[in-house]
Every structure is written in C-alpha cells, then in structure tokens.
Structure 1
Amino acid sequence: MSDTPSSAQKRIILNAFDMSCVGHQAAGTWRHPASQASRYNDLEYWTNLAVELERGCFDTLFIADVVGVYDVYRGSAEAALQDAAQVPVNDPFGAISAMAAVTRHVGFGITAAVTFEHPFLLARRLSTLDHLTQGRVAWNVVSSYLDSAARNIGLDRQIAHDDRYALAEEYMEVTYKLWEGSWEEGAVLRDRTRGVFTDAGKVHPIQHEGKFFRVPGFHLCEPSPQRTPVIFQAGASARGRQFATRHAEAMFILATSVETAGALTDKIRSEVAANGREPDSVKIFALLTIITGPTDEAAQQKYAEYLSYASAEGTLALYGGWTGLDFSSLDPDTPLTAVANDSLRTTLESLAADGDTWTVRDVIQKRSIGGLGPVLVGGPETIADQLERWVDEGGVDGFNLAYAVTPASTTDFIDFVVPELRKRGRVQREYAPGTLREKLLGDSSGRVRESHPAAHWRQHYVGRESVADASHSSPFG
C-alpha cells in the first residue's frame, strides 16, 4: 500500500486529548503503577508528552479545562477530590510555550470559556501564544457548564444554556475584530532608520459597543501568524451545533457508534453548508479511548487490568457534573432519562442515540474508562480496522484520543497502531509545512477562509479612525 493517503482515502487526523489535572476521562486509573498522571505539575511531563506526540505525527495536543468542580454527586465535591476527578486542575495555558520549544510541528488546542474571561484579555493571550508557537495554536471555545464555576465568579448559578451562546456570539465578534480588523497588514515596520516600529495610521480602535461587552480600543498584539487561531468547538445541542457550524474549523462530537457518528456528521456538514461555508472547512473529530498492544489478547488483558483500578465514585462524580444529575439518588438499574438543564444536556442523549438503554450501573461498567466516549480494545489491525470504519462510514475526519493510563496509552498507540495506519496510508509520516491551520485544512494562506465569519472583519478598519488620526502633533516638531 501507499505510504501517503490517496485521494480516495481520507487522512486520519490524530489529536491527543488531555487536561492539566490528574484524572481526565478515566476515573481511578491514576493509581496504576505505570501512570504518570500525578506528575501533571511537572513541566517535564508535558514537554515529554509533546515530543512523544510529534514522534507519532499527531496533529494536536488538545487540552480540556474546567474552572469549577464536580460537586453534584451526593451534593459535594468530596468524591471528585478523593479520586482527583478533574480537580485539582491547572490553567491549560501554562505549559504551551515549553512544549512548543521542544517541538516544531504539533499543534496545541487550548480550552478557554467565554463566560469567565473578558475577550480583550483572552485575545491577547491567544495572540501571544500564536506568536511564540509560530502559528500552532487553536482555541477550543466553550461556555462553561458547572454551577460551581459560576458561583465562584459571583453569579448565583450558571448562565442559562442558550443565553451562554448568545454571549458567545458577541464574544467571537469582539475577538475577530481585534485579530482581523484592528491592525492592517504592513502596520509593523521595524524601521530602525526612521525610528518607527509601528505605523500608527494602520492601527485602529475596534470601537465595539454591544449587549455584553464594550471594547473601544485596539488589539495590544501585532498580527500573529494565523491572526485568528484555529477555532475548535464541541457544540452538541441544536443551539450548540448552530454556533459550531458557524464558527468552528474543527468540531468534536460524542457518538457511541459508527452509525450515530455517520448521521451526526451528515447533519453537521449540511448545517455548515447552510451557513454559507464549504462542508470541508470543518474537520470533525470523535472522542475515543484506545487500549492496544501487540495482539488482541494482550490488549484485552491490559483493559481488564486497567478496569481493576477504575473508580465508580470518580466516574459518577464526573457524570454528575456532565449531566447535572446526582447519580447517588438514582436506582442503579433504572434506565436513565435525559433531562434538559444547563449542564452538558446532550450527554445522556448521546448514550441513548443508538436506541440503547443505559443505567447507572452501565455507566460505571462501560465508562469508568473512556468517560464521555467509547473504548476500543484490540491489537494493531483490529484497531486500525475500527478507526477506518469510523472515518469511511462514520464520516469523521479524525479522533480525540483520551488516555486510559498516561503516557502508556499514547505510547502504545504510537508504537502499535500508528505503524499499521501508516502501512495502510491513512496517517501522515511527516508534517506538512506551515501553521496549524495550513496543516489541518490544507489552506496555504494560514488565515481563516473567506467563508468564515472572522473574515468579515478583515476590512473593519476601512473608514475608521486610526491611532494616528486621534493623536496630537509632537511638541518637538
């Protein structure tokens, strides 16, 4: 077989899914002797991971985040704390520069919630990292779903689900104005002879006045390699998909099977086209956890071993936060029913998408490892066959691969599955040149496409006052 994907074989995009914490999607496995999850405070843990991902030609390291705690289960955060279920949790931005310094190509998807940070400040943080990584940054846009987070910034409770997306729409407008419409091309001169670093006539205040935000000034950073970082999003509800299909360049889905993935990806691409964008302008990733080894039998033995470390309490703490339901109050064998609330309201809907009935006991048995996504177990050929089905029949472009035990799950995938996928011509052997956007979408400019809403603000400065227009003449002549 060819070593590079043919036009008939879509390249499979690989993202590692992690979080700046001990327990991410696999509750309890931090106790496994091979786990280094408790080293999350150690910078070398992250730099080693980045180097390992680049060895496997992964496209990105996607770092999730929450700024609240999972305290719905039994009305307390005790279970989450005992099992380190996404708490303690560090800021996802901290390790990015160090990881970029030891790699050249792998991208970094960083989660930041629009509900808890002003867009003027976040735009600067993301531009800074886009500069320091030479254009390898993506922003995973989320609207936080935990009441505990809302309370700690002074709100009584979380902003209502659909209202969060209304705020998010204006948030995106502000950041796009800052990134695309504040500094003209050629504004930065670096002219040592004339002593002019920036032409103030080409820098423009965005003069934004909206319902949620007032930002009169200009962006503090000069244009970064991508200007707008690659936009990641995980909208799953109808309102969330509406937002994602308008803004996202990569979208994450929760699907329990190839069949549900196929129906969902068809719907997403139809909605992308309805928003006036090219259907291929959004790459779609499914969340999976893969446990592999040299043979199917070895992988199954490893899975059984990992399950022996899984924590039922930690799993239910996580699912309590994701669904807003206190699982301790439910009969463990009664079928679960989705409830409309302001949490991740599609979590239980995704479990039942194939017509399956799930109980609390099923969640513990099937998702103690894997969290929000399915677990695939098998040797290299078995896993490669399944991944190809998800892509060819399920319509996804790639995967967010969560770990069961870190970094062993990643190393196993690189050592066992990546060579098989390369043999089939389904994953890259080397990186394409350019920014993360160029690598993911194949767009040579490295900038958002004209069909993307950010492009609307590229000429926002035309006819608007510049910093030079607003200044006064120097008293020194």
Structure 2
Amino acid sequence: MKRMRLGVFEVAGPQVGGTLSWPHPRSASIRYREPGYWIDVARLLDEAGFDFLFFADGYGYPTVRGELHPLSPAGGINFPGIDPAYLIPVLAHATKRLGFVVTSSTGLDHPLQTARKFATLDHLTGGRVGWNIVTGASQDVIARLFGHDAMRRHDDRYDQADEYLELALRYWQTGWDDDAVLEDRDAQVYADPEKVHPVEFEGDHFRSSGWFAVVPSPQRTPVLFQAGTSARGREYAAGNAECVFVQGTTVAATAANVADIRARAAEQGRDPESLRIMVGVSVTVGETREAALAQRTEFDALQTDEVVNVLYSGNTGIDLLSLDPNRSLEQLADDPSAGSGGTGKAGQMGQSNIDRFLPKDGSPAPTVRQILDQLKGRGTRGFQVTGSVTEVANELESLMDETGLDGFLLEPIFAPTDLEDFARLVVPELRRRGRLPEEPSTGTLREQLTGAGPHLPADHFGARLVR
C-alpha cells in the first residue's frame, strides 16, 4: 500500500487560494504577520506527522486591465502579503521534524543570491528546506514593478530556468568537497583551500566566475519542488524536480499528467517512481457529513463572480467579465488582446489555468459563465473534498489509487481550523488504514520524502555535475 505524503499549501497573507474567507469566524489568517500564529500552525503539523509546510510567494498581485482592482486590497484577494522566507528559521526552531518549502522565482534574482539564501536556510533548519522553483507569476505586473521593457514569453522563461537551476546547482554541488571544512583549532585551519573550487559559468542568460562562500549544508541542495502542469512545465519537472505539485482539475486529467511526468522522467534516465507527485486539495471534514456540508456552505456564500475574476485575471491576464459569457475562451482567437484588457498578455501567464478550459480531447470547451461557476469557491485550489471522516479518507485514498499520486497539499479554506480538524479527525483514520506511519519520519526533508539519503539522488543531473 502506497504511503500518503502530506503537505500544507499556504501564503503569508490574509488567505490562501485567491478565495474570500478571512472574515469568517473560523478563520484566523489575518494574523499572518504574527510569528506566534505560524508557530502554532507549524507545531500542529509537526506533531500530526505532516511532511512539510509549503509557502507560495511572489511579488505579483491580481490586476484587471492593468490596474489593481479595488476588490483585491478590499477583499484581501492575493494582496497584501509578506516574505515567508523570513519565517522559516523561526518555525524550524519551534519544531522537530517538519520540512519547509518556499517559492523563489528564476526570473528576478541572480542564481548566486538564490543559492546563498537556500544554503543558509538549509543550515538554519538542519536540512529541512525545499525550493519551489517557479518561472514567475503575474508576469505583466512583475515587468512593470521591476522596470522590465517587456514580459518574457512563457516557454522562454523555462529556457532561462534551465540555466538558472544549473548554475545554482554548480554552487551547491561543486563549490566544496565533502571534506573541505576542517575547523581545526590547533592548526588554525578552517578549510582546506585545495578543496574549495571556483565556479566558472557562461550561459545565454547568466554568467558567474568565483567561489561560493557558503559551506555545504546538510542537504547540499534543497529539495527541488516544481509547480506547473503546462507541457513545458511537465518537461521541466521531469528533468529537474524531486517533488511536483500538479494542478487538480479532474481525476482523468490528473492521472494523465502524473503518467506523463513519470514517463518523461524515465526518458531522461531518472527513476520515475522516485518523484513525489502531489496535488492540492481543500478538505472540509466534520463529525458528520451534515456538519461538513454546513461549513462548506458558509464558505461558498462568501464567493462572487468578482472574486473569481480578480484572481483569474491576475493569474492569466484574462478578464473573464469582459468576455461574452455564453462563449468559451476560444473567443480570444478573434482578438487575443481582448481578454487581457488590450494588454496582449493572454496565454503568456498561468498557462495551466488557460489550457484546462480548452480541452483537446474533442469535448466541448466550457463557456465563460461555466468557468466562473466552476472557479467560484475554488480559485486556484485543487480538488474539493467535503464529508465525514470516513468519506474524506475514502476519497483521498481513491484519488491516490486512480491517479498514481503520492499525496496531497492541503489548501485550507478556513485557516487554521481546517488543519486542526484534519489533524484531529482524518490523520488517525489514515494511520489506521496504513496510509500514514504510526511514527512520523525524521531526518532531512529529502530523507523524509524519499526514504533515501540527504543528498540529490545519483540519477539527478545535478548530482553528476563536475567542475
């Protein structure tokens, strides 16, 4: 029986998922600026046996027609937020085994800055950190914020990300020999200079020449996560990621994406089963089905078309409310700039959230009205599971068995009470069924997720880099 991996998807902001929930009494997420709030969440997950706490992050925010929609700040829709990376050392100090994953883009900082940050975090957490590699989000917003002349095209960003990761890996993997650090007080020698090596790199996007001044951390390289279900995203994940976060739309689509990523990984000489592939899920559980449905109804009552539109436009550049509600997204072919308020950004951001509504299996594409209805109360979340303890456990098991997934990232609609309910009610049931171990795993994040050693596996290209 396959063991279930569990993470929690969060943001250091009023709420996760781009939906509206922070005003509800069950939610305490408006305390996101308080370290004590996150310490309580991290300890809950640590003791319940979760594998990691995942922080999405970025500089972007939702816009409609190039302007910050008033509902974004008024409703707290993916705006505002703080940098979650600074929380991680605090949370690691307050926990024993929980891993921490944070998003960092390949489109802004130089790879040296990212390598230094994650090596530092890996030291401060005792090897419990992961890097969620993204090529960017809200790219039109980022281009304006950072003074770029133009937004880089979707697939071009992945080409840059290939090079970005390789250079970061060269710092981590080749800069220091395993036995370079001596810390010999008597000889007054900290490190053997013959075992500290320069990194020389000349690429199309980045250059670097010099020494990486951070000693090898417990994992050397943080656990590599990637979230992207576009064709280019799946190819990138298959070659680079150790844990992949796929979009949860339908069971069939998820199963196809899981199989595709594993097949691509095998083609690149990697063990396809070594990848941990997970999907987001919002779980509303109660002592009874009726109690769970009542909670979910209260959440759904807060959602509107305007909330959906603010989020979707920020993610894809498409203003749904400006389109004909009775036609599909194929109407953008008539005027590609129409859906993005004349900015021409449609199709270069949030590609997965566009492709999902343009089916290629011959089935009819949903209308804009149907898209709004489908996303209402869901936002960027994955699967929605509501019911009693038995019903929730059954559905999670079924999703794993039917898709080949390795586990789930919980996306709470009411944080942290949804997580408390899951830890109290569902975790014991999953343990009883053998899906979770009686005693949570320990060690570095990579050891906990893979059951292997703390360093990159031999079949990952980063482990084979030479000076």
Question: Normalised by the size of structure 1, how large is the TM-score?
Answer: 0.91
Q: Give distance in 2, aligned partners of 1:72 and 1:452.
A: 41
Equivalent of 1:347 in 338, 348, 353:
353
Answer yes or no: is 1:412 the counterpart of 2:438: no
| CA distance, structure 1, for counterparts of residue 67 and residue 322 of structure 2 | 10
Aligned to 1:217, the other structure's residue is in SS state strand
Deviation digits for residues 235-284 of structure 1 (CA, Å, limit 9, x no counterpart): 21111111110000000111322222222211111111001100112110
Indicate whether 1:371 and 2:389 are aligned: no
Q: Where do 1:77-88 residues align within 5 Å?
A: 77-88=69-80
Task: Quote the offset at 1:424 in angstroms.
Answer: 0.6
Alignment equivalent of 1:244, drawn from 218, 237, 245: 237
| Aligned-pair CA distance for 1:333 | 4.2
What CA distance in whole angstroms lies between the structure 1 residues aligned with 2:7 and 2:367? Answer: 30
The answer to whether structure 1 residue 428 and structure 2 residue 421 are counterparts is no
* 2:19 paired residue number: 27
Query: What CA distance in whole angstroms lies between the structure 1 residues aligned with 2:184 and 2:366?
Result: 66
1:472 matched residue in structure 2: none
Supply the distance in 2 between the matched residues of 1:351 and 1:439 (Cα, whole angstroms): 36
Q: Which amino acid aligns with 1:246?
A: G
Distance 2:418 2:82 in 1: 22
Report the alpha carbon displacement of residue 428 of structure 1 after superposing the two structures with TM.
Answer: 2.7
Name the CA distance, whole Å, in 2 between partners of 1:358 and 1:302.
28
Distance 2:348 2:211 in 1: 34
Tell me which amino acid in the other structure corresponds to 2:241: A
Q: Does 1:218 align with 2:217?
A: no
State the distance in 2 between where 1:352 and 1:254 align. 15
The equivalent of 1:190 in structure 2 is: 183
Aligned residue identity for 2:411 = A
Give the number of aligned pairs: 450
Q: Which residue does 1:42 correspond to in 2?
A: 34
Residue type of the partner of 2:160?
Answer: L
Amino acid at match of 1:411: E
Tell whether 2:207 aligns with 1:199.
no
Question: Match for residue 102 of structure 1?
Answer: 94
Separation (CA, whole Å) in 2 of partners of 1:343 and 1:127: 30
The whole-number CA distance in structure 2 between the counterparts of 1:130 and 1:52 is 22
1:235/1:241 contact within 8 Å kept: yes
Give 2:58's aligned residue. 66
1:130 aligns with 2:122: yes
Distance 1:181-1:437 versus aligned 2 partners, 3 A rule: same
Q: How far has the Cα of 1:94 moved from its partner?
A: 1.1
Aligned to 1:169: 162
CA distance in 2, matches of 1:447, 1:50: 24
1:450 matched residue in structure 2: 458
1:82–1:361 Cα change, 3 Å:
farther
2:448 match: secondary structure: helix
Structure 2 gaps of 5+ residues are 333-345
1:282-297 to 2 correspondences below 5 Å = 282-297=275-290
Letter in 2 for 1:117: D
For 1:99, the aligned partner's letter is: L
Q: 1:156 to 1:82 in 2, by over 3 A?
A: farther
User: Is the CA contact (8 Å cut-off) linking 1:26 and 1:404 kept in structure 2?
Assistant: no
